[in-house]
């Protein structure tokens, strides 16, 4: 009897340990480097501007960096899709870079973890009520948004509101794709992945920056699938599309390929955004 009780106790202890392990297992959200930046850049940061979706489960912080000289204003969005980590990783790294090396001219707004709940779940979109188009949980299909809609429509509406309020001059939305664009280019009729592309609004400013970016990116990348391509015309109801459609400003969807190591993708995202900031007049 005593032996049986001992065995039961051991089994219970082992089960409890495994349950505890599952509950406390780190979620694949941020790398330790970005987590440290995330912890530092909370609502007490001097660069904190406001929460979008304030007071809800979807609340997400906006940060603001301002040079001494007035100039162009650029909005950068990370974490639109929760399973595209290079985007929200690069957005966090950029917070650190801009706080350590302040800009002298212009303004940069950063929303590092736009769809925060999708990031926590490592999902492209969040769930929507039964019978509703699942893309209504995909922030990048909800622009220009709806103040009375589902949460992602409301968030898109508030991001659109920022563009109006601050008279934003360019929008950058970080994304990733599972496959290289060039790998599938020749197989017409097959899925054309968008890994390693810059999708841009085909307005004058957007086209110009896209061409400069492509030349500069590819000048340092050996021939092969890692080379970047341009794609004109962002998908309807995306952040970049909305920028061109409703504000006639350049909008960019920067796409890295998830087949590459994470740190390589983060570096590519940062390289792209720095070219866009520079060409937009931020220094
Ligand atoms: Zn995406």
Model confidence over 31-47: pLDDT tens digits?
999 999 999 999 999 99
Q: Per-residue pLDDT for 8 more than 80?
A: no
Q: Report all structural domains of the chain as residue ranges with CATH numbers, in order of start.
A: 46-280 (3.40.630.10)
Two structure tokens written together for 34? 């970005």
Give the percent of the chain with pLDDT over 70: 87
pLDDT confidence of residue 191: 60
Whole-model pTM over 0.85: yes
pLDDT confidence of residue 188: 54
pLDDT confidence of residue 26: 47
What is the Cα–Cα distance from 25 to 14, expressed in whole angstroms? 16
* Pairing outcome for strands 60-66 and 105-111: antiparallel
Q: Specify the 3-state DSSP secondary structure of 141.
A: helix
From ligand 1's centre to the CA of 78, what distance in Å?
Answer: 10
pLDDT in tens, 120-176: 999 999 999 999 999 999 999 999 999 999 999 999 999 999 999 999 999 999 999
pLDDT confidence of residue 11: 62
Quote the mean pLDDT of the chain: 91
Beta bridge partners of 232: 200
Q: Per-residue pLDDT for 275 more than 60?
A: yes
15, 47, 60, 119 from 42: Cα distances, Å: 37, 9, 10, 17
pLDDT in tens, 98-111: 999 999 999 999 99
Q: Is 250 exposed, middle or buried (0-12, 13-18, 19+ CB in 10 A)?
A: buried
172 touches 76 (CB < 8 A): yes
pLDDT confidence of residue 25: 46
From ligand 1's centre to the CA of 131, what distance in Å?
Answer: 24
Tell me the residues surrounding ligand 1 (ion) with CB < 5 Å: 81, 84, 175
From ligand 1's centre to the CA of 18, what distance in Å?
Answer: 34
From ligand 1's centre to the CA of 81, what distance in Å?
Answer: 5
Residue 36 CB neighbour total at 10 angstroms: 13
Two structure tokens written together for 107? 């303004």
pLDDT in tens, 226-249: 999 999 999 999 999 999 999 999
pLDDT confidence of residue 271: 98
Question: Which residues fall within 8 angstroms of residue 128, CB to CB, at 6 or more apart?
Answer: 134, 136, 137, 150
Q: Per-residue pLDDT for 183 more than 60?
A: yes
pLDDT confidence of residue 221: 96
From ligand 1's centre to the CA of 119, what distance in Å?
Answer: 12
What is the Cα–Cα distance from 106 to 276, expressed in whole angstroms? 13
């Amino acid at each position: 009897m005593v032996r049986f009780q001992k065995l039961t106790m051991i089994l219970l202890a082992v089960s409890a340990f495994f349950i505890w392990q599952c509950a406390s297992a780190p979620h694949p959200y941020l790398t330790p480097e970005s987590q440290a930046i995330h912890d530092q850049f909370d609502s007490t940061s001097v660069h904190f501007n406001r929460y979008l979706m304030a007071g809800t489960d979807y609340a997400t912080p906006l940060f603001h960096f301002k040079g001494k000289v007035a100039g162009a204003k650029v909005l950068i969005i990370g974490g639109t899709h929760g399973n595209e980590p290079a985007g929200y990783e690069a957005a966090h790294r950029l917070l650190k870079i801009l706080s350590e090396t302040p800009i002298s001219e212009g303004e940069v707004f950063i929303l590092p973890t736009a769809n925060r709940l999708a990031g926590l779940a490592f999902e492209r979109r969040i769930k929507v009520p039964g019978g509703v188009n699942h893309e209504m949980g995909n922030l990048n299909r909800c622009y220009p948004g709806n103040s009375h809609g589902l949460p992602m429509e409301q968030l898109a509406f508030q991001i659109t509101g920022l563009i109006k309020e601050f008279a934003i001059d360019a929008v950058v939305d970080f994304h990733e794709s599972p496959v290289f664009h060039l790998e599938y280019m020749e197989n017409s009729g097959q899925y054309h992945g968008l890994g390693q592309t810059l999708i841009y609004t085909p307005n004058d400013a957007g086209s110009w920056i896209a061409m400069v970016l492509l030349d500069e990116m590819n000048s340092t990348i050996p021939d092969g699938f890692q080379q970047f391509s341009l794609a004109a015309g962002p998908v309807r109801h995306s952040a970049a599309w909305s920028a061109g459609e409703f504000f006639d400003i350049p909008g960019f969807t920067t796409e890295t390929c998830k087949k590459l190591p994470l740190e390589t993708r983060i570096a590519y995202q940062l390289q792209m955004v720095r070219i866009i900031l520079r060409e937009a007049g931020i220094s």
